[in-house]
Structure 1
Amino acid sequence: MKSKASSPFWVPIYAFLTTIIAGGLLLKLDVCHPGKPLSFLDAIFTATSAVCVTGLAVVDTGSFFSRTGQTVILTLIQLGGLGIMTYASLVIYLLGKKVSAADRIAVSQTLIHDPSFNIGKFIVGVVTAVLSIELIGAVLLNRMDPQGFAPYSAIFHSVSAFCNAGFSLYPDSLSTWKDHAGINFVFIALIVMGGLGFYVLTELWQKLCDYIRRKKRPITAHPISWQTHIVLETTFFLIIAGAVALLLAESLRAHAIPNFESNELSALFQSVTCRTAGFNTLDISSMTNVSLIFMIFLMLIGGSPGSCAGGLKTTTFRALFGFVLAKIRGRSQVRVGWYALTEDSINKSLTIMALAGVILGTAVILLSITEGGNIPHTQARGHFIEILFETVSAFATVGLSTGITPKLTSAGKVIIISLMFVGRLGPVWLLTAINNWQSEPRYKVPEDDLSLG
């Protein structure tokens, strides 16, 4: 039992839980919000949202918390962005101590899903690159608007953007800058880089360095790896398709409300941010149901494996899309890009989708009970899509809300906290950790076909 409890698959779970509890205890201190009451549940909710880089908030971060409280949240965001085990292993490595096999597996699975890499060199490179990107983003934000993004605010928002956290020091998020192309594109760049995955970023950086140094590489059929190609291609498609869909959906409202401003920049920003970042330049609560449905779809897909983003991941989306397409065409192989997927990859993608469906379905039912289960349908119209939106936002660690987060009951907050935690770890990781406690039966039962469809 002890060996199972210390399995490397449980290490990140313990690390995240410990950090959330410690963060909640710190945020509960009066110095983080002088003279303003904050319940322990709300403190844990905020800490979970920060560590799980979600961005859902029961109180306004900028006005409720002091600079000390905001710094605690910023620290939790940074720790949660790369994963607690990353920093723990970095400290151990820099101190010259041997990194355990458990830490090696945990970090490699979290970052690049490859346990055979040089953990010390890789982690130092990743942390250095991340801090450099966040610093550059902060400098650009400060240069473009020194008043709106003073040094501290610029750093806070740059870290929050790259880590795909969505926490903002302004009550209306980034609505003030919805027409500022420069600031919009800085946030878009930070969010996209944070959501591509460290494996992809590392490969692209290496390619760029080789190009600058004019270093010759072995001639290959493709300039980048298959996974990087799939991630970039799918990310680009989702950004453009999402922007077009949102622009068309909001144009319905623009025809009905002449003074309503909907433009390509706002649609592009929302397409990027709703795939796990959580910032907004438009009022989410006033968007059309069609827009919310498109956003739910984008939130559910999320970012890419080994990134700061949540969701089912872009590669899972491509695998599922390829699976459906192959079945429609009557083909035995599921082809995605240059290669066909293995049966294990297909089974894993189907498992992820099934688990997500069960988790989200259960959460929606529970929230429907806790957040107005006694209200007749005639009085609760529109409430279901708000609950569904909130549920997907929490599970995919996005942080966008139609405005019901501060109004949640205590039971509702516990449900959202659980969703954020499971969503950050990933349903498959949690299932693997649970399965690690189980033993494979030493017998098999007879097999038979079941009529389906």
Structure 2
Amino acid sequence: MPPPDIPQTLQPMRLQPATSAWNAFQRWRHHLTVPQFTVVTGALVIAAGTVVLSSPLCSTEDVGLWEALFTVTSAITVTGLSVIDISRDLTPFGQVTLAGLIITGGLGLMAITTFLQGFVQGHGGLRNRLDKGQCLDQFGVGGIGPTFNSILLTGSCVMGLGTVVLYSFGFTDIANPLERFWASLFHAISAYNNAGFGLWSDSLERYRDSAVVNGVIATMIVIGGIGWRVINDLWANRQRLRGLKRLSLHSRLVLRSTLLLVVFGALGLLFTEHFATGGVMEPLSWAQRIQVTLFQSITSRTAGFNSVPISAATFSDAGLLLVIVLMFIGASPGGTGGGIKTTTFATLMAATRSTLQGRQEVVIHRRQIPDSVVLRAIGVTIASLIFVLLMALLLGLGPTAAGVPNGTSFSFLEKLFTCMSAFATVGLDVGVTAELNRWGQLVLMVGMFVGRLGILLLLTALYGSRRHSRVGYPREELFI
């Protein structure tokens, strides 16, 4: 006997809840702004990477969902902090997956976001394209379409050249050719993307005295940190450079700021660690000290490699504080590093100089900087500083250390160092990260995510862009 026919009046009632939910989802995705879509895409990429990395194909039984989540977040945000041993806890396929996540976070996340938004939202007028371009500039990748192809081509060439040099002259102590090639390729990827991940638990300490390894890694960190805009500017003017005058103001400022910060950081570490008793620099010769401090000055702003042990026992408090300052400044706009950026720091220094000189405008290299740029630099710096201090405050709530011998706790300087390393996506560790409980590691994960996206982009995603008001207000003096 055939089943009775369903009355037509009941069929729409069954489909109505599903249809309403689908329509609500369609309206929600169409109204997502670029910053909001960036946050959603980043979270989805991290979630997908966590599932893959925690599978038996990629990791051992010691890596659960939590360890995989922390590692993937650190890779997508190109930070380098880790709670696992990469060489021991990840399979060869897992290490390849980790390298792919680093490339995705360093070069591809924003482009993926932009192109996916075009498919998902299905519309794109002039305002939407301008919004995408502005968001890309804020995120630090630098462009869409052909521009991203150039970014990818430049990155591939630099990483390929670095791999060849490291294989031929750097990691020559590795006898197995396949292992040497993978070590060279992995560290080239990690260095160019300013990730700081290493295949060995001691990072690059075993190659402390290798000029080739230190030189290649440091050079790739600098190239990745100065940003594609500067590289493109240098390439476009390669045949007519005369004292860097033909370069844009941005390129000149980035190059000079980077050079000054590298020299200042190296001299500062030489000074602070020279007076440290029993420090890591004490048994080294002056040639070794110069090489170590130069390398650490470069890697402290953008990447998390270290050629000597970094901890409260091996570095002085003054040296750790100097490294915190370098991490806070970070890389340059358009680069793969974090921090408030070198141009932001240079703008603040120029504003301070103008104030001391009694000027009403900010001038850099005989060019007046718009007030909106100065306000943005101040906003980025203050918001970033408040966020890092909030991280340190949350990290100090209750016992956050799990498994620390004799129940000892970390000092505030160690916690501040770790929080700054996470937010600035540097990845240097003083032995705190792996000893934190899950609350402490969650604070670091949120800090890494916010630091990679950018504090202003995240605030824009939460509150939206505010339209310019046509209402003016009367001026009044304020005593400062």
Question: How does the TM-score come out when normalised to structure 2?
Answer: 0.83
CA distance in 1, matches of 2:279, 2:429: 24
Letter in 1 for 2:302: T
| Correspondence 1:258-273 to 2 at 5 A | 260-261=283-284, 263-273=289-299
Residues 275 and 398 in structure 1, CA contact (< 8 A), matched pair in contact too: yes
TM-superposed CA distance for 1:257, in Å, is 7.9
**Structure 2: how far apart are the matches of 1:20 and 1:385?**
30
Deviations 1:201-252 (A, max 9, x none): 11112222xx2xxxx89x9993111110000010000001101001111111
Partner residue, 1:143: 168
2:246 to 215, 218, 223: 223
Q: Sort the Cα spacing of 1:68 and 1:384 in 2 relative to 1 into closer, same or farther, 3 A.
A: same
Does residue 391 of structure 2 align to residue 358 of structure 1? Answer: no
Name the CA shift for 1:294/1:81 in 2 (closer, same or farther; >3 Å). same
Q: Is residue 82 of structure 2 the alignment partner of residue 57 of structure 1?
A: yes
Give the corresponding residue for 2:275. Answer: 252
**1:167 match:** 197
Distance of 2:279 and 2:461 partners within structure 1: 51
Return closer, same or farther for 1:179/1:278 CA change in 2, 3 Å cut-off: same
CA distance 1:382–1:288, shift in 2 (3 Å)? farther
User: Any idea what the Cα deviations from partners look like across 1:143-202, whole Å, max 9, x if unmatched?
Assistant: 112344711111110000000000000111001111111111101110000000111111
Give the counterpart of 1:198 among 216, 220, 228: 228
State the distance in 1 between where 2:131 and 2:206 align. Answer: 40
Pair 1:299 & 2:327 matched: yes
Partner of 2:4: none
Partners in 1 of 2:162 and 2:462 — Cα distance? 39
Match of 1:347 in 2: 375
Secondary structure of 1:79's counterpart equals helix
Q: Deviations over 1:283-305 (max 9, x none)?
A: 11121111101100000000000
> What pairs up with 1:383-398 in 2 under 5 angstroms?
383-398=411-426
- Among 334, 345, 353, the alignment partner of 1:325 is 353
Partner of 1:283: 309
1:204-243 correspondence to structure 2 within 5 Å: 204-208=234-238, 211=239, 222-243=245-266
AA paired with 2:352? V
Shift of the 207–130 alpha-carbon distance from structure 1 to 2, 3 Å rule, reads: same
Distance 2:123 2:467 in 1: 31
* AA partner of residue 237 (structure 1): L
- Correspondence for 1:176 among 176, 190, 206: 206
Which of 147, 152, 155 does residue 182 from structure 2 map onto? 152
Q: Which secondary structure does the structure 1 equivalent of 2:246 belong to?
A: coil
Residues 1:37 and 2:62 are matched in the alignment: yes
- The SS at the match of 1:335 is strand
| The one of 12, 20, 28 aligned to 2:46 | 20
Task: Kindly provide the CA deviation profile for residues 25-77 of structure 1, in whole angstroms up to 9, marking residues without a partner as x.
Answer: 1111122223x222322211110000000000011112211111111111110
Q: CA–CA distance in 2 between the matches of 1:360 and 1:44?
A: 21
- Of the two, which has the highest radius of gyration? 2
Q: Structure 2 CA distance, aligned partners of 1:238 and 1:71?
A: 33
CA distance in 2, matches of 1:224, 1:73: 36
CA spacing shift, 1:291–1:220, aligned 2, 3 Å = closer
Partner of 1:136, secondary structure, is helix
Measured in 2, the distance between the counterparts of 1:194 and 1:62 equals: 25
Alignment check: 8 A CA contact 2:195 2:426 kept = yes
Residues 89-128 of structure 1 correspond to what in structure 2 (within 5 A)?
Answer: 105=130, 108-109=133-134, 112=137, 119-128=144-153
Secondary structure in 1 matching 2:38: helix
Shift of 1:411: 0.7
Matched, 1:414 2:437: no
Call closer, same or farther: CA 1:159–1:447 in 2, change over 3 Å. same
For structure 1, the residue ranges without an aligned partner over 5 or more in a row are 374-378
How far the C-alpha of 1:103 sits from its partner, in A, is 8.3
Distance, in Å, in 2 between the alignment partners of 1:102 and 1:179 is 53
Q: Is the 8 A contact 1:51 1:79 kept in 2?
A: yes
For the residues of structure 1 that align with 2:164 and 2:63, how far apart are their CA atoms? 33
Q: Is the 8 A contact 1:111 1:197 kept in 2?
A: no
CA change 1:424–1:342 in 2 (3 A) is same
Match of 2:454 among 401, 404, 426: 426
Q: CA deviation at 1:99?
A: 8.5
- TM value normalised by structure 1: 0.87
Gaps of 5+ in 2: 1-26, 402-406
SS for the counterpart of 2:396 is: helix
2: CA distance, partners of 1:92 / 1:422? 20
Conserved 8 A contact 1:54-1:398: yes
| Amino acid paired to 1:143 | S
Task: Indicate the percent of aligned positions where both proteins have the same amino acid.
Answer: 30
Q: Would you say 1:369 and 2:397 are equivalent positions?
A: yes
Change (3 A) 1:362 1:447: farther
**Contact in 2 for aligned 1:292/1:389 (Cα 8 Å):** yes
Classify 1:202/1:270 alpha carbon distance in 2 versus 1 (closer, same or farther; 3 Å).
Answer: same
CA distance in 2, matches of 1:77, 1:253: 36
**2 CA distance for matches of 1:158 and 1:254?**
35
Aligned-residue RMSD, C-alpha: 3.3
Q: Distance in 1 between matches of 2:166 and 2:244?
A: 40
Q: Judge conservation of contact 1:109–1:306 (CA < 8 Å) in 2.
A: no
Q: CA–CA distance in 2 between the matches of 1:253 and 1:163? A: 33
One-letter identity of the residue aligned with 1:55? G
